[in-house]
């Protein structure tokens, strides 16, 4: 039976297991919105700005491990998503953006057609790991299937599928392609053997774990290897939960502190798992890493990109670590003594140097108020810079931050997408008074969909991070002091709850009191927090 391309698109998404997607209707996508009426099994979340459609898909994907899907019309609707696409692309998040385009007789002709742009597809090239253009309705199933295959089986950078307007409106009898499965990528046995040989000879190894350790199963394997090597273990901010935060061998995201730099200087072999040694955790690549590095990464182009490696293993972190564990067994490798005393000493020095500022006290309150399964989303706001290293978690896929692109406004819509993905997990957003205004309109989305997210707005009346930069670099300020609205009244105007906490000693108790509430809640927290500084939190 012939159906429209729009109907075929919906059927293709359902075949891939898509249950919901995020978007805003536009003139180029109305055929698809009509098809939604006949397919109630595919839930559509109406956002209030197109960038939030991708931010929500991003949060959905990070929290669930599944592909997040956004859908926008062409022209301004499409281009409004560029920042969010770049955020997901930088952080390797599996987001699929579906977008329409004008008919071919007017496209790129400069005739002044509605939503006309010379090369919409080309604009997305820098922020898409996979991209395809669909000209005919019968091409839709294969294009959708190829995008899902790429997102599930390669490094999960964003994917874009652009549909010519007529592809969505014409009739076709093309069949739906069965949903693509995840393929278990083969690990090169020789590279695993070489990596195991290097680790087996290590006397003072160190482990560095990043966001690639994203599942409970992979975390368990990594923890076994860490214990086998008896090694101190660094986890980046994206790698929080790679091993339990209170494990005696866990250092955390303190690589830029001098006591941890001392440990790095003294190690002879570094095992890096699911990390690319990016800017922040390496202090702008100022860290001196050992000459013998074993790096495991799904993306072969990341092996040795920022630091030279002696052995690289390309593949999924869990599969590669399991193979490495088996190879160490075959070599007869004997467990090394735990160096937990070195970890305790280094962390003790850091604690002494950093002290107990009010910023850490407030973070401790919030952490104590939250169940361990809570999903925590952050903007690059002042308190989040403290939390990058200080926040503790025992589970992967519970701490989220736009670390690569540093995007303001990310936390609120991403938290909404995450709570929709994992409705049983309490979800909070930590965001500043300036950053929240970038996407505050989508508080209405949370109200309409009754999504119970807790939004902690830390109000220091301006761009606090840039304020600190200006003070440090120039000794004077410009453009960083911004008058905020009354966030409690603003929340009420949306139909959400709003609470003002002007006593910092009550932040944790307030958070705890609202975790079981229905619908979104905005908690405004006035403060004058200080930025933790440059390169190091303490002075040694």
DSSP 434-493: TGGGGTGGGHHHHHHTT--EEEEEEE-SB-HHHHHHHHHHTSS-SS-B-----HHHHHHH
The pLDDT tens digits of the residues spanning 340-399 come to 999 999 999 999 999 999 999 999 999 999 999 999 999 999 999 999 999 999 999 999
When pLDDT is cut at 50, 70 and 90, the band that residue 116 belongs to is confident
| Residue 316's pLDDT band (cuts 50, 70, 90) | very high
Residues 158 and 297 in one domain: no
Q: Is 539 inside any structural domain?
A: no
| Distance, CA of 487 to CA of 526 (rounded, Å) | 11
pLDDT beyond 70 at 42: yes
Residues 161 and 203 in one domain: no
- Whether 182 shows a pLDDT value over 80: the answer reads no
Do both 62 and 147 map to the same domain? yes
Alpha carbon of residue 261 to chain centroid: 27
Query: What's the CA gap between 10 and 42, in Å, rounded?
Result: 8
b/e sequence 378-407, b meaning 16+ C-beta within 10 Å: bbbbbbbbbbbbbbbbbbbbbbbbbbbbeb
Q: Is the pLDDT of residue 111 over 70?
A: no
Q: Which of 210-219, 445-454, 529-538 has the highest mean pLDDT?
A: 445-454
Tens-digit pLDDT profile for residues 274-297? 999 988 888 889 899 999 999 999
Domain-located, residue 183: no
Q: If pLDDT is split at 50, 70 and 90, which confidence band does 183 have?
A: confident
Residues 341 and 359 in one domain: no
Dihedral-angle region of residue 478 (phi above 0 means left; psi in -120 to 50 means alpha; beta otherwise): beta
Number of domains forming the structure of the chain: 3
Q: The tokens of 384 are what?
A: 């989040």
Let me know: does 11 contact 175? Beta carbons within 8 Å: no
Residues 430, 460, single domain; the answer is: yes
d(CA 492, CA 353): 42
**Predicted pLDDT of residue 45:** 98
Residue 201: CATH number of its domain: 3.40.50.1220
For residues 369 and 1, the model is more confident at 369
Place of tokens 């965001």: 431
Parent domain of 324: 189-347
Residue 272 lies in a domain: yes
Last residue of a domain, which of 310, 328, 347?
A: 347
Q: Is residue 478 assigned to a domain?
A: yes
Please tell me the predicted confidence (pLDDT) of residue 112.
62
Does residue 532 form part of some domain?
Answer: no
Same domain (yes/no): 342, 359:
no
Its pTM stands at: 0.96
CA distance 189 to 293: 18
Given 313, 347, 381, which residue is the final one in a domain? Answer: 347
State the pLDDT confidence band at 115, using cuts at 50, 70 and 90: low
Tokens of 304: 């040795």
Predicted pLDDT at 404: 83
- Are 370 and 512 in a shared domain? yes
Percent of the chain with pLDDT over 70: 97
Question: What Rg do the C-alpha atoms of the chain give, in angstroms?
Answer: 24
Residues 304 and 388 in one domain: no
Query: Facing residues of 500 across strands?
Result: 524
What is the pLDDT averaged over residues 240-256? 95
Looking at the predicted structure, is the pLDDT value of residue 105 above 80? Answer: no
Sorting pLDDT into bands at 50, 70 and 90, what band is 184? confident
User: What average pLDDT does the structure give for the chain?
Assistant: 94
- The pLDDT value given to residue 152: 93
Q: Which residues of 316-334 are buried (b: 16+ CB within 10 A; e: fewer)?
A: bbbbbbbbbbebbeeeebe
- What pLDDT does 196 receive? 98
Same domain, yes or no, for 338 and 373? no
What Å distances lie between residue 512 and 156, 366, 415, 507, 526, CA to CA?
A: 35, 8, 18, 9, 18
pLDDT at 110: 66
Q: Do 369 and 407 fall within a single domain?
A: yes
Helix or strand or coil: residue 258?
A: helix
Rounded Cα gap, residues 427 and 409, in angstroms: 16
Q: Last residue of a domain, which of 295, 320, 347?
A: 347
Torsion of CA 373, 378, 381, 385, to 10 degrees: 60
Give whole-number Cα distances, 525 to 66, 67, 162, in Å: 34, 34, 42
Q: Which band of pLDDT confidence, cut at 50, 70 and 90, is reported for residue 180? A: confident
Q: What is the model's pLDDT at position 102? A: 74
Phi-psi region of 163 (alpha: psi -120 to 50; beta: other; left: phi over 0): beta
**Residue 16 domain-assigned?**
yes
Residue 424: inside a domain, yes or no? Answer: yes
319 plus 401 within the same structural domain: no
Q: Is residue 152 part of a domain?
A: yes
Distance separating alpha carbons of residues 303 and 307, to the nearest angstrom: 8
Q: pLDDT tens for residues 475-496? A: 999 999 999 999 999 999 999 9
Within this chain, do residues 193 and 153 fall inside the same structural domain, yes or no?
no
Per-residue pLDDT reduced to its tens digit, 144-174: 999 999 999 988 899 999 999 999 999 999 9
For 284, 432, 475, 481, 532, the CA distances from 472, given in Å and listed in that order, are 18, 20, 6, 16, 12
Q: At what angle do helices 317-330 and 216-229 cross, to 10 degrees?
A: 30
What CATH number is given to the structural domain containing 498? 3.40.50.970
Average pLDDT over residues 71-95: 96
């Amino acid at each position: 039976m012939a159906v429209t391309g729009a109907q075929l698109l919906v059927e293709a998404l359902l075949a891939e297991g898509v249950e919901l997607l995020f978007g805003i209707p536009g003139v180029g996508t109305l055929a698809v919105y009509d098809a939604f009426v006949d397919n109630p099994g595919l839930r559509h979340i109406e956002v209030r700005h197109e960038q939030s459609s991708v931010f929500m898909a991003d949060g959905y994907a990070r929290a669930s491990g599944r592909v997040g899907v956004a859908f926008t019309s062409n022209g301004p609707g499409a281009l409004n998503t560029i920042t969010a696409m770049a955020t997901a692309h930088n952080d390797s998040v599996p987001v699929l953006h579906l977008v329409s385009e004008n008919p071919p007789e007017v496209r790129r002709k400069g005739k002044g057609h509605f939503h006309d742009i010379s090369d919409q597809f080309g604009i997305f090239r820098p922020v898409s790991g996979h991209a395809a253009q669909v000209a005919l309705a019968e091409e839709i199933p294969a294009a959708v299937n190829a995008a899902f295959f790429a997102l599930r089986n390669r490094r999960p950078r964003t994917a874009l599928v652009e549909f010519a307007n007529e592809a969505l409106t014409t009739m076709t009898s093309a069949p739906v392609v069965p949903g693509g499965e995840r393929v278990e990528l083969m690990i090169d046995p020789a590279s695993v053997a070489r990596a195991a040989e290097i680790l087996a000879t290590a006397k003072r190894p160190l482990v560095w774990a990043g966001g690639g350790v994203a599942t409970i199963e992979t975390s368990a394997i990594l923890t076994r290897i860490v214990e086998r090597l008896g090694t101190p273990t660094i986890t980046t901010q994206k790698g929080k939960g790679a091993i339990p935060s209170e494990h005696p061998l866990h250092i955390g995201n303190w690589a830029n502190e001098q006591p941890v730099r001392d440990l790095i200087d003294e190690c002879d072999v570094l095992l890096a798992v699911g990390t690319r040694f990016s800017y922040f955790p390496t202090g702008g690549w100022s860290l001196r890493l050992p000459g013998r590095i074993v790096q495991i990464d799904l993306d072969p182009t990341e092996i040795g990109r920022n630091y030279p490696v002696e052995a690289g293993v390309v593949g999924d972190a869990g599969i590669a670590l399991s193979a490495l564990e088996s190879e160490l067994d075959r070599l007869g490798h004997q467990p090394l003594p735990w160096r937990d005393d070195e970890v305790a000493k280094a962390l003790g020095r850091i604690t002494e140097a950093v002290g107990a500022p009010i910023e850490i006290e407030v973070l401790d309150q919030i952490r104590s108020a939250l169940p361990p399964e809570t999903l925590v989303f952050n903007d690059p706001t002042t308190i989040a810079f403290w939390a990058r290293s200080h926040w503790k978690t025992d589970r992967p896929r519970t701490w989220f931050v736009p670390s690569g692109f540093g995007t303001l406004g990310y936390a609120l819509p991403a938290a909404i997408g995450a709570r929709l993905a994992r409705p049983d997990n309490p979800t909070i957003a930590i965001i500043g008074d300036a950053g929240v205004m970038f996407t505050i309109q989508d508080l209405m989305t949370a109200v309409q969909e009754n999504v119970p997210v807790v939004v902690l707005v830390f109000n220091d009346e301006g761009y606090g991070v840039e304020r600190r930069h200006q003070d440090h670099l120039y000794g004077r300020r410009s453009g960083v002091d911004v008058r905020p609205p009354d966030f409690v009244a603003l929340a009420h105007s949306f139909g959400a709850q709003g609470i003002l906490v002007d006593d910092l000693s009550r932040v944790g108790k307030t958070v705890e009191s609202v975790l079981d509430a229905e619908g979104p809640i905005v908690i405004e927290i006035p403060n004058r927090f200080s930025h933790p500084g440059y390169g190091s939190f303490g002075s040694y």
